[in-house]
Amino acid sequence: MSVSVQNFGSKTVNFQGVTLDVKVPKDGISFTVIGKGNPGEDYYIDSVVSPTGNTVRVRGTQSSKGVLSVQFPNTPKRSIQPGTYKVTLYMFSGQRSNSTDVQFQVLHKQSPQPPTKGTLDLNLYFVGVPGLTASSAPNHQKFKSLMAKVEGIYKNAGVSFGKITYHDVSKDDADELSVCDLDKGEMERLFKMSKSQSNKALNFFFIREIREKGQNTGTVGIAGGIPGPAYIHGTAGSGVLVTAEAFEQQVQFVAETMAHEGGHYLGLYHLTESTGQMHDPLPDTPECPREVGNRDGKKYLIKRSLSKCKGYGIDNNMFWTGDGKQAQEKLSPHQKFVLMRNPLIK
Ligand SMILES: [Zn+2]
């Protein structure tokens, strides 16, 4: 497998749209469009037209964090062919006079045969988790078993770890950000700390707790995008948060969380979303049946719970929630299809 980069430089995106000629090589197995602009500016991919003129639907990370990332194909239901794809993007909102300048690049993944295995490089950042620093982590027994479990989950989809680098943030940053308040933009501040990286690795930030409006809402991890931007460090979306304060007592749960959030960054969606209404685009992952209740004479969707979805994918790592008891380690062949086409998997 190899990845070639098609650089488009800076393009102005406005309500009239801009079209990128994405040139898929003969042995192209996927392409990923990445746009780097300014946070808060909404532009989106309107259409992708194949070399034979078919319009295909795509889903991916939108631009509001200053970075857009869309991988095609992200399901085996779609096939890719060599030739020129026309990818058209528009400015999303505001006045017709609005426009924004965006740096675009397209990562073409190439392989003569459909890939069956690959490696993933990691940059690990330690942000005030007791007992974990860049120097202690590589020899910490519980941390080593945590990493072995994460790799074990990914190996179900043919992915092993490659080069791992270990980093501390400054003491001041660790004091301030180990309890990461989402309302204060602290997650984005952490992800931007990856700016000094130039490797093709996935950035994980180990923190103690995630809060919203000063409260711990029980969120155990967050990915910077689905998929997150590959090869682009230092943006508000360039990383994955993992709460690891209890990693010594909960190796399995923290490992599943880390694999799950990393899975999002690598392009995997929840099998069924918490509302029961949305599903990933993969035919081989189970879906919870849509269960409709009756309240005040009106139909409504019951929030998915682990017990309600027994037998419908709760043992898959990309189930939308976990309880710390049910093991969630599985990845399906179609999830592997997506991972093998992500540029971060070498
Ligand atoms: Zn998730």
The SS3 call for residue 69 is strand
Q: Both 134 and 231 in a single domain?
A: yes
Ligand 1: distance of its center to the CA of 257 in Å? 8
Ligand 1: distance of its center to the CA of 272 in Å? 10
Ligand 1: distance of its center to the CA of 318 in Å? 6
Asked if the structure places residue 288 within a domain, the reply is no
Q: Both 151 and 191 in a single domain?
A: yes
Asked if the structure places residue 278 within a domain, the reply is no
* pLDDT given at position 272: 84
Print the domain residue range for 65: 2-110
pLDDT at 292 over 60: no
Residue where one domain finishes, among candidates 110, 133, 149: 110
Amino acid at residue number 247: F
Q: Which of 6-20, 153-167, 201-215, 264-278 has the lowest mean pLDDT?
A: 264-278
Instruction: Read off the pLDDT of residues 43-98 as tens digits, 9 standing for 90 and up.
Output: 889 889 999 999 988 877 778 889 999 999 999 999 999 999 999 998 866 677 78
Domain of 247, CATH number, reads 3.40.390.10
Q: Both 105 and 164 in a single domain?
A: no
From CA 40, how far away is CA 66, in angstroms rounded?
Answer: 7
Residue 222's DSSP bridge partners are 241
Q: Both 169 and 123 in a single domain?
A: yes
Total structural domains within the chain: 2
Ligand 1: distance of its center to the CA of 44 in Å? 22
Q: Both 18 and 85 in a single domain?
A: yes
Q: Both 61 and 175 in a single domain?
A: no
Q: Both 150 and 91 in a single domain?
A: no
Average confidence (pLDDT) over 138-157? 98
Neighbouring C-beta atoms of residue 329, cutoff 10 Å:
18
Q: Both 134 and 27 in a single domain?
A: no
* pLDDT given at position 223: 97
